[in-house]
Amino acid sequence: MPLREGQIGNVDPRICGGRLSIDVAALAANYRLLSSRAHPARVAGVVKANAYGLGLDVVAPVLWAEGCRIFFVALPQEGVTLRALLPEAEIYVLAGLFESQAAQIYGEAGLIPVLNDEADISIWEAYGWDGDDVSRPCAIHVDTGMNRLGLSGQQVKRFFHENKLTRALSPQLLMSHLACADEPSAPLNRQQLESFQIFDRLFSGIDSSLANSSGIFLGSDYAFDIVRPGIALYGGAPQAGIANPMRPVATVEARIVQVRHAKAGESVSYGAAQTLDRDTIIAVAGTGYADGLHRSLSGAGVPLRNALLSGGYGFIAGRRVPILGRVTMDLTLFDVTDLGAGAVSHGDWIELFGPNIAIDEAAAAAGTIPYELLTSLGARYHRRVVNRERRTNG
Ligand SMILES: *Cc1c(COP(=O)(O)O)cnc(C)c1O
């Protein structure tokens, strides 16, 4: 069973500066919540970038056990890795076909390319039309306003008519991507929906997919046949301004490697960028920007980020404590004065985000988004699977 608790990877917990815990019960619960929201649409799992940094090897089997059968990765290389984990999954590759040589690898690993432009289409046609008449499954990506990947309206019509004659390809999915789904009031959402509805009628008889995590919360007309959540599976808030219905999946903690006492008027960390306005107890934690704890999380007195941001926090001994001074490569300083002398000791763990500090809040304090925070987590963590909703019977 993939839900077994314990260490993953080979970083020994006794000699690491930080640990990353993946709550597989929360991940499974998030999949179920999205399924009930999107019903009757099927919920695919977006697991690109090593499942948003959390580990494809942990995430993919948990989603499969919850009934997820469709997966999206960004790169063919990720698809090959996923194929080894899930022999029967339907695996779509978002970035399309890089070159004609790649088609062979897609064929061998049973990957389904998302064809994004006419070059992709002709590569896949050539691969599928090689004497045999086995037409290759694929997805067609249409652009409805994001201007990143996908065919224009004209290219779609041309493809539709030509392919109807040649039957070279068997598109089994039509997809597009929303640019502003996390802002429900953005007018582009409805424009993209209406544009996609036109394509959807043209390609009747195959599945359609428009919504990412946030799109699922825009309303049932955005769901079509398949929805493609990523960040919400991993606990990120699908929409700003409303309570996050997802459970936190990732917890990042750092070990306290020193507790020290400094005097009012002294400065802390590189650049002496922050001066203490009181006698201060400083807890030094063993992770830094090399572990994805962005330097822009540095303490409130450090002028290296948007002045509106307040700096990051940690959570220890039941309370939130602010970061002090600049975040450094391997170490981050926290002001634990308010906890009182003796409250924090060498060897304790401080949470950087997880159940007590929302990942969205930690990301906002760093001037970024949860996606970037998760995918920046470095290789030095002791990684472990936890199952915070213990079931007592099988
Ligand atoms: C990354 C991605 C998703 C998932 O987006 P989330 O906002 O993480 O839910 C869905 N579709 C496409 C095309 C993507 O690139």
Model confidence band, residue 8 (pLDDT cutoffs 50, 70, 90): confident
Q: Report strand pairing: 226-227 vs 42-43.
A: parallel
The answer to which of 125-139, 225-239, 312-326 has the lowest mean pLDDT is 125-139
Per-residue pLDDT, averaged over 45-54, amounts to 98
From ligand 1's centre to the CA of 230, what distance in Å? Answer: 6
Lowest mean pLDDT among 36-40, 182-186, 305-309: 305-309
Residue 259 and residue 241 in contact, taking contact as beta carbons nearer than 8 Å: no
- Tell whether the model's pLDDT for residue 289 goes beyond 90: yes
Ligand 1 pocket test, candidate residues 48, 180, 212, most atoms within 8 A of CB: 212
Output the CA torsion sign for 167, 168, 174, 176: negative
The per-residue pLDDT for 99 is: 85
Atom of ligand 1 nearest to the CA of 175: 13
Give the ligand 1 atom nearest the CA of 371.
8
Beta carbons within 10 angstroms of residue 391's beta carbon: 8
Residue whose CA lies nearest to ligand 1 atom number 4: 230
The region that residue 387 occupies, defined by phi over 0 for left and psi between -120 and 50 for alpha, beta otherwise, is: beta
Q: DSSP assignment of 69-123, as one string? A: -EEEESSHHHHHHHHHH-TT-EEEETT---SHHHHHHHHHHTEEEEE-SHHHHHH
Active site residue 48: yes
Dihedral (C-alpha) 46, 50, 51, 54: value to the nearest 10 degrees? -170
Q: What is the pLDDT of residue 390?
A: 53
Least Cα distance to 48 among 71, 69, 73 occurs for 73
> Is there an atom of ligand 1 within 6 Å of 231 CB?
yes
Pocket test for ligand 1, best of 228, 373, 375 (most atoms within 8 A of CB): 228
CA of 365 to the centre of ligand 1 (A): 23
Q: What is the pLDDT of residues 300-321, one digit of tens each?
A: 777 655 555 678 999 999 999 9
Distance between CA 358 and CA 223 in Å, rounded?
Answer: 27
pLDDT at 129 over 60: no
Closest CA to 156 of 133, 176, 185, 136: 176
Distance CA 349, CA 152 (A): 52
What is the Å distance from ligand 1's center to 281 Cα? 43
Is residue 1 very low, low, confident or very high in pLDDT (cuts 50, 70, 90)? very low
Task: Give the residue carrying structure tokens 């290759």.
Answer: 136
Would the CB of 38 count as within 6 Å of ligand 1?
A: no
Q: What is the pTM of this model?
A: 0.94
Cβ–Cβ < 8 Å for 383, 54: no
Q: What is the pLDDT of residues 324-343, one digit of tens each?
A: 999 999 999 999 999 999 99
Bridge partners (DSSP) of residue 111 are: 91
Residues 31, 48, 106, 313: which is the catalytic one? 48
pLDDT in tens, 112-123: 999 999 999 999
pLDDT band at 240 (very low <50, low <70, confident <90, very high): confident
Task: State the closest ligand 1 atom to the C-alpha of 232, by its place in the atom list counted from 1.
Answer: 9
